[in-house]
Structure 1
Amino acid sequence: MNVLKPHLQTTIWTLLQANASQREIERVTGISRHTIRAYQQRFAAEQSNCPGVATGSEAVASQIAPPRPPASLSAATSLCEPHREFIDAQLRLGRNAMAIYQDLVDHHGFAGQYNSVKRFVAKLRHKVPEQFDRLSFLPGEEMQVDYGEGAPTRVAGSERYRKPRLFVATLRYSRASFRCVVWKSSQRVWAELHERAFRHFGGCPQYVVLDNLKEGVLTPDLYEPELNKVYAATLGHYGVVADPARVRDPNRKGTVEHAIGHTQSTALKGRRFESLEAQNEFLAHWERNWAAKRIHGTERRQVQAMFEEERAHLKALPLLGMQYFDEVERTVCDDSCVRVQHCSYAARPAAIGSKVLVRIYVQRLEIRDIRTGKLLRTHAKAERPGTVVLPQDERVFNPSRETRLILRQASEIGEHAARLCQLLFAIEGRVGQRKLWGIVGLVRRYPAHCVNAACAQALEQGIYSYKRVQGLTESLFAEALAAIEAQASASSTTTVAAAGLTQQHELIREAEEYGDLFAQAAATAVCTMVATASTQRSRS
């Protein structure tokens, strides 16, 4: 047993007399519970012997541990002892020392001071520790996940350090953990971290316990929580069920909470890293060489051995990984298409004007019903902006009010513009109205006769395209500007040559007279400046 200094022994003895637990004494003094337990046994043995005179080894022990008066003696000397039953009953009702003191004075004729009641109440009051049920889980049943803070890491391209987010996933049976740090979190990052955890463990648990953060749970509810779509699709792909904890109930996922604290206090405390990759490599090394090989305090077994036992009970991983997507809401236009990333995609059987959900994958695109999530249409993702993915038999050719408006504006531009717009609509239907709007909108930047002439040339060439009309309009406008500038330059040259320059006239003086005039004006200005400066100095 460690031999403590006399004042520390006195502190332990005093706290034990006050019915403090060993854990509380350890928290207050910083002394190990094993040492506190040994001194408690030693004090109990000495009190049971209770010699009248200490001799020999007992005298030495009395020098180390201070003599303690019997508890009965201290209670007997208190003025509150005759009222013990009343005070104890009031404490059970939850009343404080001041209220008990006031009742003792008013109804029991108590003559002591408030401090006497306060000390007596402190001895009688017993702190009942908060109790928790210890839950047990089957292998491969539950995994708990949560975010914490990682160690300070240098931000790329700067000298600044910042703490990233620390993701920890812990299997409840074996306490094996997956740890990873990221700069930012989002719905997709949250789902990707779960997938990496499944791959790390080599299998999937039956369900996942998580917090009610927005990356995973959109609307917390005890019975039917609304999950983020990407996260729900990821768990569905791996056959895992989400079990969000109650709001403000972190004890439900106490295993991962402890794992985060263990990681921060043991692995990352006092460390700095130059990059996220370096910190993730260190966390993997620490988990493999230290955390997995530790003996768990509750189970008294090695974490790695428990994980090897649990590995066989995890569900097998699917052959293909999760295909992540972005989900957006779109309205079906009057041409029966939806606009996604500057491209048009057929949306039938969705009705014109209705809302649909569009899931954008890397190589494909899905159109789903906004209420039921039912798949309506699948398309390969277009590579070039402006592409129209719409079969010819699904095109709508009956003119709408928007079509009539465009054709009326085209007829105001000119005959050729109206004819070209009519041909484009007859070829492409309503889906080609965007091209018609582009042709009509050229009059905002160029004269109408240039746009009309460009449409005439496009009709002659047989190229019915907005880009072609735009290029022809720009060329015609540039040619017109060049012709105007050339005509204006020729006209000014002719005027100057015809008029000539007059060198002799009665109103034109000699050059020397103009020079004398300029010199006289400069001298007058200098004199004025000097006079002004002298006046200011005299005033100051």
Structure 2
Amino acid sequence: MEVPMVNDLKMADRQRILALLELGWSYRRIQRETGTDRETVARYDPRRESKPAKVSTGPTAKPAKVSTGSQSVCEPYRQIIEGAVAKGLSAQRIWQDLKEDYHFSHEYASVKRFVRKVRRHRPEVAAVMEHLPGDEAQIDFFQGPVTLDPQSGRWHRPWIFRMILSCCGHSYEQPLWRQKQVPFMRAQENAFLDWGGVPRVVRLDNLKAGVARACLYDPDINELYAAFAKHWGFVPLPCIPRHPQEEGVVERGGNYLKDNALKGRKFDSLEELDAFLKHWNRTVARVRIHGRTRKQVYTHFLEVEKPALKPLPAERFSFFEVGTRTVHPDGYVEVGWAYYAVPDRLLGEEVRVYWDERLVRIYHQGQCVGVYTKAPAGTFNSRDEYRPAHKPARQQAY
């Protein structure tokens, strides 16, 4: 018998589902794109009215079951097994989960035969990927051609950032030495500015720069990238691990870039590579006839996709750093070797700190408990109201 379980989502997943619901996505599409089942999505839909509870009217007679021959011992677990097969789990893993979760006492061979029968009746169908104008862009990194690093005097392979609009195929390319967080987001900003607008959804590969932790069906966008996405007005949608078909547009486009532009070339600097990519985009990529749409890429972009993009915000994103700190016994937390006071009731508590080049903001359980101008290393910064009356500030103690 299947035991009902409550699927509680993390805050980042809830926000992502709410954002996709605001875009008008159906429950089925959200399940396909995020791995969260439709029932769970429905529970977080604010537009959904709760159904009245069913009232029992007493026992009802059930029709007698007619035996049609021998039945598999796995039949009572059909729904569980079909769900596990849909997630791509192996027969061995399904058998192990049945034993652990449902005290299944039969042999592995029974599960293996049943899984083989389920898969025979569930052939995988290749879906046709269709995208509305302004609906989606896809991101990927791949290693570029050999390029000279002037600082070390050695030849290295930089990373190529490529962001492509899924509808028309228009793209933006930029070389980067490392997959670091801030350059990764700056490259996205440059793409939005180059296009003159922002797509509603940005689908990204499981990059360390954009994704804090990638679990099967449960990606966790890190805090800085979530704030970045909110500022620019798009929904970040990580690809499910080991499912490259979800990035079909950018995967094919990456191969086209490597074969058509970069194969067999060497560059004397990253700037030379960047200039070559921009020239190639202007003279080759955007003027070609796209194999899927049968239209010139840039003309299709100007006529159809660009008007559908969301408008750009008034200014670029202001980058910040974030971290967790434990309040010291003297009532201070350390940020960049400078110290900032918080209310004395928080001694020993964990606080969340956000800082940039100008300000330091300190939060406890979602409430702001301190805002300071960023101070030089080695300094102590406090407020009189944060100190108990019998404990003078450090500067007044001596």
Change (3 A) 1:329 1:278: same
Residue aligned with 2:245, SS: helix
Report the counterpart of residue 283 of structure 1 in structure 2: 277
Contact 1:332 1:350 in 2 (8 A): no
Report the counterpart of residue 377 of structure 2 in structure 1: 385
Tell me by how many angstroms 1:192 deviates.
Answer: 2.1
Distance 1:349 1:398 in 2: 12
Contact 1:219 1:226 in 2 (8 A): yes
Residues 263-305 of structure 1: CA distance to partner in whole angstroms, max 9, x if unpaired?
1111111111111111111101110111000000121100001
Distance 1:189 1:375 in 2: 29
Tell me by how many angstroms 1:374 deviates.
Answer: 4.3
Is residue 274 of structure 2 the alignment partner of residue 299 of structure 1?
no
Distance 2:194 2:351 in 1: 37
TM-score by length of 1: 0.48
Distance 2:200 2:263 in 1: 33
* Larger relative contact order (Cα-Cα within 8 Å, sequence gap ≥ 6): 2
Choose the corresponding residue for 1:367, options 352, 356, 362: 362
Report the counterpart of residue 244 of structure 1 in structure 2: 238
TM-score by length of 2: 0.64
Report the counterpart of residue 262 of structure 1 in structure 2: 256
Which letter does structure 1 place at the counterpart of 2:378?
A: G
Contact 2:217 2:240 in 1 (8 A): no
Report the counterpart of residue 75 of structure 2 in structure 1: none
Distance 1:307 1:381 in 2: 44
Contact 1:187 1:228 in 2 (8 A): no
- 5 Å-filtered alignment, 1:486-525, equals none
Tell me by how many angstroms 1:322 deviates.
Answer: 0.7
Change (3 A) 1:358 1:291: same
Residues 405-424 of structure 1: CA distance to partner in whole angstroms, max 9, x if unpaired?
xxxxxxxxxxxxxxxxxxxx
Residues 86-115 of structure 1: CA distance to partner in whole angstroms, max 9, x if unpaired?
xxxxxxxxxxxxxxxxxxxxxxxxxxxxxx
Distance 2:247 2:184 in 1: 17
Please identify which structure carries the higher helix content.
Answer: 1
Distance 2:142 2:174 in 1: 10
Choose the corresponding residue for 1:352, options 347, 350, 360: 347
Tell me by how many angstroms 1:375 deviates.
Answer: 3.6
Change (3 A) 1:243 1:157: closer
Residue aligned with 2:167, SS: coil
Change (3 A) 1:158 1:387: closer
Change (3 A) 1:156 1:206: same
Which structure is larger by alpha-carbon Rg, 1 or 2? 1
Residue aligned with 1:214, SS: coil
Report the counterpart of residue 395 of structure 1 in structure 2: 387
Change (3 A) 1:395 1:349: closer
Residue aligned with 1:145, SS: strand
Choose the corresponding residue for 1:197, options 171, 191, 195: 191
Report the counterpart of residue 323 of structure 2 in structure 1: 328
Change (3 A) 1:298 1:394: closer
Distance 1:235 1:157 in 2: 33
- 5 Å-filtered alignment, 1:227-242, equals 227-242=221-236
Task: Extract structure 1 runs of 4+ deviating beyond 3 A.
Answer: 221-224, 372-376, 396-399
Report the counterpart of residue 225 of structure 1 in structure 2: 219
Distance 2:176 2:223 in 1: 21
Distance 1:206 1:393 in 2: 45
Count of matched residue positions in the alignment of Structure 1 and Structure 2: 275
Contact 2:138 2:250 in 1 (8 A): yes
Change (3 A) 1:375 1:284: farther
Identity %: 35
Which letter does structure 1 place at the counterpart of 2:360?
A: L
Change (3 A) 1:348 1:237: farther
Report the counterpart of residue 333 of structure 2 in structure 1: 338
Structure 2: runs of 5 or more not aligned: 1-123
Tell me by how many angstroms 1:232 deviates.
Answer: 1.2
Is residue 174 of structure 2 the alignment partner of residue 180 of structure 1?
yes
Which letter does structure 2 place at the counterpart of 1:290?
A: V
Residues 395-437 of structure 1: CA distance to partner in whole angstroms, max 9, x if unpaired?
24536xxxxxxxxxxxxxxxxxxxxxxxxxxxx53x359xx8x
Residue aligned with 2:174, SS: strand
Question: How well do the aligned residues superpose, as a CA RMSD in angstroms?
Answer: 2.3
Which letter does structure 2 place at the counterpart of 1:197?
A: A
Structure 1: runs of 5 or more not aligned: 1-129, 400-427, 437-463, 465-540
Contact 1:325 1:359 in 2 (8 A): yes
